[in-house]
A and B are shown apart, each in its own frame.
Chain A
Amino acid sequence: MFEKVLIANRGEIAVRIIRACHELGLRTIAVYSEADRAALHVRQADEAYLLGPAPARDSYLRGDKIIDIAKKSGAGAIHPGYGFLAERDDFAQAVLDAGLVFIGPRPSAIAAMGDKAVARSTVTAAGIQVVPGTEGEGDLSDDDLLAIAPKIGFPLLAKATAGGGGKGMREVKSIEEMPGLLEAARREAEASFGDGNVYLEKLIENARHIEFQILADSHGNVIHLGERECSLQRRHQKLLEESPSPFINDELRTQMGEVACAAARAVDYLNAGTIEFLVDKDHKFFFLEMNTRLQVEHPITELVTGIDIVKEQLRIARDRKLRYAQEDIHFNGWALECRINAEDAYNNFLPSTGILNSVIAPSGPGVRVDTGVYAGFEISPYYDALISKLICWGETRGEAILRMRRALEEYRILGVKTNIPFHQHIMDSHRFIAGSFDTRFVEERFSMNELEEEKKHLAKIAAVMAALVTHRESQSASQIVRRNKRDTSNWKWVGRWERMNR
């Protein structure tokens, strides 16, 4: 069995995987791009090899080079992390063909879940309800769509096949307005993506995005580790996750967990994976998709279950049996994760690049920080904006929120703008505290400019500090022109000094 693991990733997740390997006594091999020579994962791994130039397609996406390095360095297994090559079945197959272990699912499962149409029909065949719609059924004409629409039921969404970010998307409330809206959606999709095809999907009102972590071993055992609430998103980017979900009770958890395990079995799943569901306001749930890899937000599940998911991944890849049966899984307390991104929360979440001058990470009881950066490291424009994940645990949801507030206030990152103020606003938001939010909360009902009552007095302090800074600047400016202590005039002195520099 393998004793050396190559981590085909960078940033915080590479560091996370290195930690798990070292705890299990496995040697680690980092790969890096030219921009990442000084990155934390390179510093912490036992061996490190250069992949190529900074752009991902020349480095972290070079599967052929990565497999080459694995063979030359004697690695027995490759962990892909998330993103980059993690959900590429051709890469997973190439790893196996090279006689190495791929720490993840079988290529066939990645392919089955990666293709929307195949995924939908596979889980439907296993008796699992999917969001009703025509996604993955090919490109349909307006007449076809108009005929299918009443079967799906209104309201529904017309979405661009090639789309994303809400472009080419229209909410349709009735059959009468549908032809006009279809035309508008097609026009917008054509303009944005050069592809005017649209599909229909039932609109789930007040939808929550809830996912289940599953683990499957090579002996046919499949268990779930409970749910994660991921409804707080901005443009389909998750920003904050929690486990458990304030929306799910024990009965629903058992029911959804069983469905999640069934979906995994339907594709003969192996290793760690995540089943995503949309849940409507009546607690009806629909299969959305499966992520066939480790998730960014896996730590919150680790904190409430006490299970180290990455170490379990490594054990599963070594053909060990799962150490837990479903009845051994217990949930203790509450965990929250804030994704700390190099984005200016006050300027439309514009990414911010630069050198981190200073980083003081929060710590203390119940606080975990997963990061791949340090003071002096540069946030480059080549990769995503994730600086770190701040994860807090509490006995109750209330304690976890208060702890997160405390940790966010403690966190000091200088050199780039971050979205920490955004998270602080969320932690102060009454709707968040009450647990009443859905996937549209951040975009439609949340403002960075609203000031909670208890923070109003801070305006005065800010005014005082701004005045003091202005005062300092005018003082130091006046010192420049103040008559010098020397006998000679400053002009004469400057003249001499300039001559010296010739």
Chain B
Amino acid sequence: MKYFATIGDKQFEVEIKSDQQIDVDNQQLTADFQSVGDQPVYSLILDGDSYEASIYTTETGIQVLLQGQLFEVQVEDERQQRLRQSSSAPQTRSGDVHIKAPMPGVVIDIPVEEGQEVARGDDVIILESMKMQNEIKAPRDGTVNRLRVKTGESVDQNQILLILS
């Protein structure tokens, strides 16, 4: 099975031939890959070099935390890559984004209004939790479609705060 793993502007071709044999950019390597203790932690021994990483699958890709360095990796197999390349339509992100509370807290401030245009990285909600004021930022450019909370309101974890479209 062949996979294409992309980090930023770099792409790596990883062909998994068996449990022990993989080719990385056509270089043959011996790999021993194990998960550790039922956790999202994996140990890899690659041609004798030992690595350990925490790996999380998210909506936007796979996050690999390795030696204090976080890598965002997009992985596609051959079929997915062919499909993407043949579809000529440019990749557009559509649909609404639901911005949820990452932790329980109190809404201190809402620096945006319904209908307002925001850019990726703009503060949309200020949430106080753990004695800290935390800025919740817009994950992409868009328009504030709906505000689901008011200033001063207590929210639970994962409660929808705002809808961006």
Contact = CB atoms under 8 A, between A and B. Distances in A.
A463 B16 contact: no
A348 B135 CA distance: 8
A462 B104 CA distance: 32
A433 interface: no
A463 B4 CA distance: 9
B147 interface: no
A471 interface: yes
B95 interface: no
Given A350-B134, A409-B67, A467 B129 contact: no
A71 B22 CA distance: 69
A381 B62 contact: no
Contacts of B5: 463-464, 466-467
B163 to A, nearest CB: 20
B134 A351 contact: yes
A353 interface: yes
Interface string B117-144: 0000000000001111111010000000
Given A459-B7, A461-B51, A381 B104 contact: yes
A357 interface: yes
B39 A463 contact: no
Contact of B55 (A349, A385, A424, A469): A469
A381 B66 contact: no
B69 interface: yes
Contacts of A414: 39-41, 54
A185 to B, nearest CB: 18
Contact of B62 (A350, A455, A469): A469
A465 B44 contact: yes
A353 B129 CA distance: 10
Interface string B72-106: 01010100000000000000000000000011110
Interface in A154-188: 165
Given A351-B130, A352-B103, A353-B157, A461 B44 contact: yes
A118 interface: no
B69 A458 contact: yes
Interface in B43-60: 44, 46, 51, 53-55, 57
Contacts of B131: 383-384
A323 to B, nearest CB: 37
Given A424-B67, A464-B12, A381 B42 contact: no
B70 A463 contact: no
Nearest to B70: A346
A353 B14 CA distance: 35
Contact of B16 (A346, A424, A471): A471
B65 A421 contact: yes
Given A381-B103, A467-B5, A458 B66 contact: yes
Nearest to A423: B68
Contacts of A351: 103, 129-130, 132, 134
A358 B129 CA distance: 24
A459 B129 CA distance: 34
Given A348-B135, A381-B105, A459-B71, A465 B53 contact: yes
Contacts of A448: 70
Nearest to A164: B133
B16 A465 contact: no
A208 B89 CA distance: 54
A468 interface: yes
A467 B7 contact: no
B107 interface: no
B27 to A, nearest CB: 10
Nearest to A415: B39
Contacts of B12: 459-460, 463-464, 467
A66 to B, nearest CB: 20
Nearest to A461: B51
Nearest to B55: A469
A258 to B, nearest CB: 36
Given A351-B103, A353-B104, A471 B55 contact: no
Contacts of A412: 41
B162 interface: no
10 contacts: A342-B130, A351-B134, A353-B104, A381-B105, A421-B68, A459-B71, A462-B66, A462-B71, A463-B71, A467-B14
The 9 closest A-B pairs by CB, nearest first: A424-B68, A463-B5, A466-B73, A462-B71, A467-B14, A463-B12, A462-B64, A467-B3, A351-B130
Given A463-B71, A474-B1, 7 more contacts: A350-B103, A424-B69, A463-B6, A463-B7, A465-B51, A465-B64, A467-B12
